[in-house]
Structure 1
Amino acid sequence: MGFENAQLATIADIQHTYHLQIPEYQRGYAWVQAQWEDLWNDLINVASRPSGDHYAGTLMFRPLGASPHGREGVEVVDGQQRLTTISLLLRSLVQTGIAIEFQNNEPLQTYFDYFTASRPDLAPRLGQFVSFYGKNIENAAGFFAEKVAVLDDTARKQLADALLGRFKLFILTIKPGFDVHVAFETINNRGKPLTILEKLKNRLIYLSSIASDQQAGQHAAAEIHRSWKGIYHWLGKGPLLLDDDNFLRAHSMGWFRHENNAEWLSTQLFDEVFSSSPTCANPAYIATYVRSLETAAAWWFHLNHPSRLPPEVQRQLQSFKRTAFASVRPLLLWSLIRLGSLDVRLVSEPAQRSDWCAPFISLLQQAERFAVLVLMANDRRSNIGQNDLNRSAYCLANPGERLYPNSTATHPADAIGAVEFSRDHLKSLVDNWQIGDALKSYADDRFEWSGYFDDVKVCNAAADRLRSGNGFYSWSFGKLIIHEWEQQLRGDKGLPDKKPWDKFSWDQSVEHIYPQNPAASDWSEAITFDGRTSSALKNSVVNSLGNLLLLSGSRNSSLSNRPYRGGAEPDKAKALRYQAGSYSEWQVAHVCPDWNVAAIAARGIAMMRFAEKRWGFQLVSPEDKLTAWLPILFGDQADSIKEGKASGGHAVDGRTLRRLVERFETERPR
């Protein structure tokens, strides 16, 4: 067996017997409220009973010999999360916490000592080491402090005595020379389940331990520990912990050629690629693989926390993130990895040179176009094109591989050329079109396939949504157009952002200018409905794009039904409120003396023509009449709108629309 000793020990025994060291390659503090609640509830239950011990889990120690503190030095192989949490709980009960040394980890040590060892002198240094792991220690300390704050001194002492004397942990002491990672996958403690990334680490160390070349295996194991230290550093460096498995999945899409299977990481990765068979114990390959993982973790951090990237890349990433398009993330990650190969220093200082930015920005622009046009505007499933994107990621990671089995297309060998090729491939997935069936000629003849974007689907999607109820309201495509319209009115002269994307919500941020439930007396002159089609016609007007207005403040339902001008309380009419609101509100108030169907149509046309330029597509030819936009904006009711059935018989035609469209396209706040 690999253990030389096993014993039950109280928290007080551990506190006074051991000097605990956490190896640097372990993850930082990652327990969250669910685990804090469990520990607190266990303590309350134990303290409420007059007697009886509580089994609190298993610890695994590796002996290190005598420590300078007069205690027995041990490396905590398993149990860091549990011990850290118990120490924080002890401190909240006005007790001395458990002394823990985090090897070569000053940031975590600083947070731990400040919150468990009564070290107010460390407060000025906390701001130097902001990360998820450090903030998580702070959050746990706050959680327990809040629980304890309502207790008197007697209750606190009762809880402290129960925690120190009646909570017992089962300690396994490892024999010298025994590699715990060989058996670690079978450990089943109460707490936070192991992630796939954690299980992978243990599998790789096990494979290194059974390699026929023991020296090479030891070198691979050392590389695993070193690389995992870097991986955990980058995944926890930001204010939010980056998900292990999302990161591993993005990396694997490029490193391995495999199907887009959600279970692949937990099945084939362990059953086939890194099975426990000696045939998979290849130390050189393992070392290369884990070094790639560490590099990828750094770029994954930059991709998710772009503050260290050049400003122009940050801006394009922010724009791209508004599409919530996760499928392209493996391709973006591998693009950054390849571009980072231009200079190894880029991974830690990506803003130090800018020659890599242009190809990555252009790739991001095409990724945004794909998300906006194929997924949002065409109203299609989020996995459309996933296999194509994964193939491109794999070719980026493996230069020389053909993009498709039956295609001669391959990425160039140089990093910039390879990323530009992925950009062109992604562009072809949006708008490649066949010029002639007989000649099999395409807009980009390197890619012999038609793209996924279909302009007819945009019209059909809009009509379907208007027919079913909400129209452009609550449509992700509509939301993006409304937000971007506001931003282009804001311009680039440093004006404040009156409604940032992260503050946008349909219920609170968007008002139907012509209300969903208008008072007939307030709107009867501007917009009228009659006949059997009145319900469908009204819905097409209410939920048309041009009638949806982004507000700078929260929508007030009591004001949203007010008339546009006049009414019983003219000083509360919408046109007056809009003058001091968002840039979109200002424009509507200044362009339109009245709000009618022609204004709704004209504003919608201006917004859609802006969207065409913004994302590079075309629904209506510039040579077509303006009324060609009406089926897109009003769906099945376009003819009724054109004939004036919602405007008292006044036709909505080019003559009516032209001047209004021009004003919406040109007038903006100064």
Structure 2
Amino acid sequence: MNELQSLSQIFQNKLFRIPDYQRGYAWQDSQLRDFWEDLINLQSDRNHYTGLLSMKVLSKDEAKKLDTDDKWLLDSGFRPYHIVDGQQRLTTFVILLNEIVEFIASLPENESKPDENIYLGYENLKDIKAKYICRKRPPEGFIITYLFGYENDNPSAEYLKHKIFGEKFGGTLKETYYTKNLLYAKRFFNKEITAFYEKGGMDGIAELYRKLTLRFMFNIHEIEDDYDVFVAFETMNNRGKRLTNLELLKNRLIYLTTLYDRSILDEINEAALREKINKAWKEVYYQLGRNENTPLSDDEFLRAHWIMYFSYSRKKGDDYIKFLLRKFSHKSIFMNFAENETPVEDDTIPVVVDDEDTDDPSDVQENEAVEMAPGFLAPKEIADYVNSLNETAEYWYYTYYPEECNTISKEEKVWIGRLNRIGIGYFRPLVAVSLIPSVGATAEERINFYKAVERFIFIDFRMAMYQSSYQSSEFYRNARKVYNNEMKLTEVAALLNEIADADAPSAIQVFVTKMNKRFISNDGFYSWRDLKYFLYEYEYSLVSQYKIEKLQWADLTKVVKDQVTVEHILPQTPTKAYWKNQFRQFTAEEIKTLSATLGNMLPLSQSINSRLQNDSFEEKKNRGYYNGSHSEIEVSKESDWDANKIYERGIKLLHFMEERWNFKFASQEQMEELLHISFVNDGRDIPPELIEEESSAEEIVVPSDISDDDLKLQFWTKALPVIVDAFGDNSTYSNVSPSTRSTLDGFVGIGGINLYCTMRLRKHTLSANIWIDVKNREKNKKIFDVMFARKDNIEKIVPYAIGWNRGVKRSSTVNVEIENVDFNDTGRWPELIDFLATTCVALKSELITACADELHAVIDGD
């Protein structure tokens, strides 16, 4: 049957259930907003085509499996249906209808009235509820049957009844990613209905209800047999929000249970296998949505489990789901594959492609192929696979949240936490396997394994900067071997240490070379992406001595506008007399290098405003060093801060690095090369102590009656030489003269891209910006996209809030802005000028270095 029907027609004597192979409610804000706007903007005399509603009437045997509370309604003439396609829209309809009913009932004038005396248009609320929401079994009304809902083994079933429809309940409801979406939809519509009522009153709500039930039209399609149901479900999932691969696979497995000959899988065992699948997916969805603030990825888990359960292949990013859909195919039940036949991929089934980076070509084995088991697929294979998914889900969750695992020691939790901080990468499947009880690893074996993983990551990825896929095939294969008890965790740890040992000398040299580039841009260690991790580990070594934890990782890594959590003890641009005296024997360039070296970096237990970094050493100690992190307390014990202290602390931290990650620098000279401050010990004469109080920049006096143009000119006259000097070249800003205008432009040598600073007196803001022309230079769009993809890294390098605006028609911009600036406060000018200089250099470096390949393509095209 194919015809257009309104919601009023669709709910005539029908009972709707979402079957077990369906996912939960996946609509979020954007879909809800589109739906609501379609409704409120629909003209009263027009119909709105809502889409396909595909459903299958249940057979008598299937109807017997319904909940006991449903059966009385079937005896009253209602027909039960499974929703095959369109459940997201139908769920949304029912939630919105329920919210309209609840809103009308809650109005002050209706509070004491029974539902039969409250009218919405020409219908009372009792009749509306009975038609669309639920019915009570007469005469007592103890049994409530909901006309739309989920099958009972779905966590969303009880949640829909009690949290969305408001039925009273005293038990505990399990929350998942999908139940959160249900609750969000309820709250979304409640808010919109309330606002709509304030504008249109009861007449507006009545018109809303009329359009919803009579003018939103579905194309009804009834499916006749099970085969069509599952095929339709797989091929129709492109509309709305595409199914995840995990959702698609569940449908496939349940479908396969219906295909076996009764001599192989009788009716009782079919029901048992189907229940096993449902329980496994219930567990998986619970674990993935267990942390309601940050649900875990369906597809990341499915891919990881595939790696540990089947032989790993790396031909394409979507190999894993194509493998699974071929492995669990109806062909494997109805026929055997020919001896040398290569299974044909079913391109009609959409899959979610894994966007993971391509693996290192040097690490690919030519003959590596997906392991396929041609021939008959026994029900036991499905059961074993499903049991494994069920078993693994909990331990996958603990790899993200080890503190919630009650079966591992505190030390194990600490090490898994380290792996998450440093970036666990492709080792997560192995870590999950290590936690599974059937693997039989001891706590000591796990700790040694975690230590080896963390050391390998630090040496090969954080120092050597190898591709993120380096050795991934080896350790993906090892995950399967350990899971199948073909390899011990101790063997994996030994292999990791062996590789790291061999790689360490070259890793150190690469680290030195990369740091050279960072010092050329004047950023030094501050732009090393793992500086905070390293400093946190040093801090943790002090915690083990003093037994008091004074610095939290979350505090160290949080990004707050104009706040810093890692301080340059010697400021980047020192202006106070104290600093000028302490470092008077060094050139401006040497002072920048001293500021950027490792020994001058200090993690703070509490973030500070960036302008406080110019305080003198005594002021910094009084501000909080003496009672801050253990690292701050250690530094606060120094009476003064000079170049020798920076050198000594840098060497001390490098010795810690050697001990912590078990490697050795080649020599003292190599360590000094890494720190870039060997000039500290060159025996130069120290000039007489300076006598001026503060730098001249802080002594600028601005007349109270100065005009805006003159103020701008004075600021840019002071700022421009510092910015030019920071770039140290002739390509940016050097051809621009100070002026009275509020915007000062500089060009970075790339067509259609400007790097500029903006001073807005009336708005009290100062900003460093990138402007990218995309109207006349289409290729420039790629540059913004590449920078935005590196957003997290850039925001680590630039310690200020960054505004990202991807333009489509004219231009894209990146803006780094300081607010609440009093430009008449000339004492703050050095800090503001330093902000412009360092931020512009960092932005230009990102444009040139981080996006090198894309920029070369653009330049060549120009």
TM-score, normalising length from structure 2?
0.61
Report the secondary structure of 2:5's partner residue: strand
Higher Cα Rg, which structure: 2
2:234 to 174, 177, 185: 185
Confirm or deny: 8 A CA contact 1:465 1:471 kept in the other structure.
Answer: yes
Say whether residues 1:298 and 2:343 are aligned partners. no
Task: Pick which of 246-255 and 210-219 moved more.
Answer: 210-219
Work out which structure has the larger RCO, using CA pairs closer than 8 Å and 6 or more positions apart in sequence. 1
- 1:316, distance to aligned residue in structure 2 (A): 2.1
C-alpha spacing 1:177/1:461, structure 2 compared with 1 (3 Å)? closer
The aligned residue for residue 53 of structure 1 is: 48
- 1:26, distance to aligned residue in structure 2 (A): 4.0
- 1:629, distance to aligned residue in structure 2 (A): 3.1
Distance 2:581 2:635 in 1: 18
C-alpha spacing 1:399/1:57, structure 2 compared with 1 (3 Å)? same
2:195 to 150, 171, 174: 150
Say whether residues 1:10 and 2:6 are aligned partners. yes
The aligned residue for residue 382 of structure 2 is: 286
1:104 to 129, 134, 152: 152
Distance 1:530 1:492 in 2: 37
1:330 to 426, 429, 436: 429
The aligned residue for residue 660 of structure 1 is: none
The aligned residue for residue 123 of structure 2 is: none
Q: Residue 425 of structure 1 aligns to which amino acid in structure 2?
A: L
Confirm or deny: 8 A CA contact 1:514 1:542 kept in the other structure.
Answer: yes
Distance 2:684 2:520 in 1: 17
Say whether residues 1:513 and 2:509 are aligned partners. no
C-alpha spacing 1:581/1:8, structure 2 compared with 1 (3 Å)? farther
Say whether residues 1:315 and 2:414 are aligned partners. yes
Q: Residue 305 of structure 1 aligns to which amino acid in structure 2?
A: Y
C-alpha spacing 1:204/1:290, structure 2 compared with 1 (3 Å)? same
Q: Residue 632 of structure 1 aligns to which amino acid in structure 2?
A: L
Distance 2:540 2:611 in 1: 27
What pairs with 1:117-128 in structure 2 (closer than 5 Å)?
117-119=165-167, 121-122=168-169, 125=171
C-alpha spacing 1:563/1:584, structure 2 compared with 1 (3 Å)? same
Report the secondary structure of 2:525's partner residue: coil
C-alpha spacing 1:254/1:494, structure 2 compared with 1 (3 Å)? same
Report the secondary structure of 2:567's partner residue: strand
Q: Residue 516 of structure 2 aligns to which amino acid in structure 1?
A: A
Say whether residues 1:642 and 2:642 are aligned partners. no
Q: Residue 222 of structure 2 aligns to which amino acid in structure 1?
A: T
Say whether residues 1:31 and 2:27 are aligned partners. yes
Q: Residue 48 of structure 2 aligns to which amino acid in structure 1?
A: D
The aligned residue for residue 359 of structure 1 is: 445
Confirm or deny: 8 A CA contact 2:449 2:493 kept in the other structure.
Answer: yes
Say whether residues 1:195 and 2:262 are aligned partners. no
- 1:60, distance to aligned residue in structure 2 (A): 2.5
Distance 2:688 2:473 in 1: 52
- 1:517, distance to aligned residue in structure 2 (A): 2.0
Distance 1:469 1:217 in 2: 73
C-alpha spacing 1:517/1:226, structure 2 compared with 1 (3 Å)? same
Q: Residue 215 of structure 2 aligns to which amino acid in structure 1?
A: R
C-alpha spacing 1:530/1:618, structure 2 compared with 1 (3 Å)? closer
Per-residue deviation, residues 331-380 of structure 1 (Å, max 9, x unmatched): 2233334x4355xxxxxxxxxxxx74332232222111111221112223
Distance 1:358 1:82 in 2: 52
Distance 2:686 2:210 in 1: 79
- 1:482, distance to aligned residue in structure 2 (A): 1.4
Say whether residues 1:20 and 2:3 are aligned partners. no
Distance 1:394 1:579 in 2: 49
The aligned residue for residue 793 of structure 2 is: none
The aligned residue for residue 603 of structure 2 is: 550
2:652 to 589, 593, 606: 606
C-alpha spacing 1:183/1:30, structure 2 compared with 1 (3 Å)? closer
Report the secondary structure of 2:462's partner residue: helix
- 1:125, distance to aligned residue in structure 2 (A): 4.7
The aligned residue for residue 739 of structure 2 is: none
Confirm or deny: 8 A CA contact 2:312 2:477 kept in the other structure.
Answer: no
C-alpha spacing 1:582/1:12, structure 2 compared with 1 (3 Å)? farther
Per-residue deviation, residues 542-580 of structure 1 (Å, max 9, x unmatched): 221221222233331221222223xxxxxxx22211336
The aligned residue for residue 622 of structure 2 is: 576
C-alpha spacing 1:55/1:614, structure 2 compared with 1 (3 Å)? same
The aligned residue for residue 138 of structure 1 is: 183
2:593 to 540, 554, 579: 540
Confirm or deny: 8 A CA contact 1:20 1:76 kept in the other structure.
Answer: yes
Distance 1:206 1:101 in 2: 21
The aligned residue for residue 428 of structure 1 is: 498
Distance 2:328 2:224 in 1: 30
Distance 2:688 2:679 in 1: 10
2:162 to 114, 119, 131: 114
- 1:266, distance to aligned residue in structure 2 (A): 4.3
Per-residue deviation, residues 452-506 of structure 1 (Å, max 9, x unmatched): 9733223233333223332211323312111222333344766454433365147
Distance 1:138 1:544 in 2: 51
What pairs with 1:655-666 in structure 2 (closer than 5 Å)?
none
The aligned residue for residue 249 of structure 1 is: 303
The aligned residue for residue 68 of structure 1 is: 72
Report the secondary structure of 2:72's partner residue: coil
Confirm or deny: 8 A CA contact 1:254 1:394 kept in the other structure.
Answer: yes
Report the secondary structure of 1:150's partner residue: helix
Report the secondary structure of 1:76's partner residue: strand
The aligned residue for residue 668 of structure 1 is: none
Per-residue deviation, residues 297-349 of structure 1 (Å, max 9, x unmatched): 23222323331343423222112110122211122233334x4355xxxxxxx
Q: Residue 32 of structure 2 aligns to which amino acid in structure 1?
A: W
1:597 to 643, 667, 690: 643
Q: Residue 593 of structure 1 aligns to which amino acid in structure 2?
A: S
Count of aligned pairs:
579
C-alpha spacing 1:28/1:199, structure 2 compared with 1 (3 Å)? closer
Distance 1:422 1:246 in 2: 23
Confirm or deny: 8 A CA contact 2:516 2:674 kept in the other structure.
Answer: yes
Give the fraction of aligned pairs with identical amino acids, expressed as a percent: 28
Per-residue deviation, residues 396-421 of structure 1 (Å, max 9, x unmatched): 24455xxxxxxxxxx2xxxxxx1222
Q: Residue 263 of structure 1 aligns to which amino acid in structure 2?
A: D
Confirm or deny: 8 A CA contact 1:196 1:265 kept in the other structure.
Answer: no
Say whether residues 1:369 and 2:425 are aligned partners. no
- 1:246, distance to aligned residue in structure 2 (A): 0.6
1:236 to 273, 280, 289: 289
The aligned residue for residue 507 of structure 2 is: 454
Per-residue deviation, residues 431-452 of structure 1 (Å, max 9, x unmatched): 2x4xxxxxxxxxxxxxxxx679
Distance 1:330 1:172 in 2: 43
Per-residue deviation, residues 21-51 of structure 1 (Å, max 9, x unmatched): 33445433333223222322322332x4542
C-alpha spacing 1:189/1:456, structure 2 compared with 1 (3 Å)? closer
Confirm or deny: 8 A CA contact 1:597 1:647 kept in the other structure.
Answer: no
TM-score, normalising length from structure 1?
0.77
CA RMSD of aligned residues (A): 3.4
Confirm or deny: 8 A CA contact 1:489 1:583 kept in the other structure.
Answer: no
Q: Residue 27 of structure 1 aligns to which amino acid in structure 2?
A: R
Report the secondary structure of 1:111's partner residue: helix
Task: Pick which of 80-89 and 507-516 moved more.
Answer: 80-89
Say whether residues 1:263 and 2:318 are aligned partners. yes
Distance 2:622 2:540 in 1: 22
Distance 1:499 1:188 in 2: 44
Confirm or deny: 8 A CA contact 1:11 1:163 kept in the other structure.
Answer: yes
Report the secondary structure of 2:527's partner residue: coil
Distance 2:517 2:31 in 1: 47
Report the secondary structure of 1:168's partner residue: strand
Per-residue deviation, residues 208-262 of structure 1 (Å, max 9, x unmatched): 5555676339757625445334433433333243212111111121222233331
Distance 2:686 2:302 in 1: 58
Distance 1:60 1:497 in 2: 59
C-alpha spacing 1:253/1:367, structure 2 compared with 1 (3 Å)? same
The aligned residue for residue 221 of structure 2 is: 172
Task: Pick which of 289-298 and 499-508 moved more.
Answer: 499-508
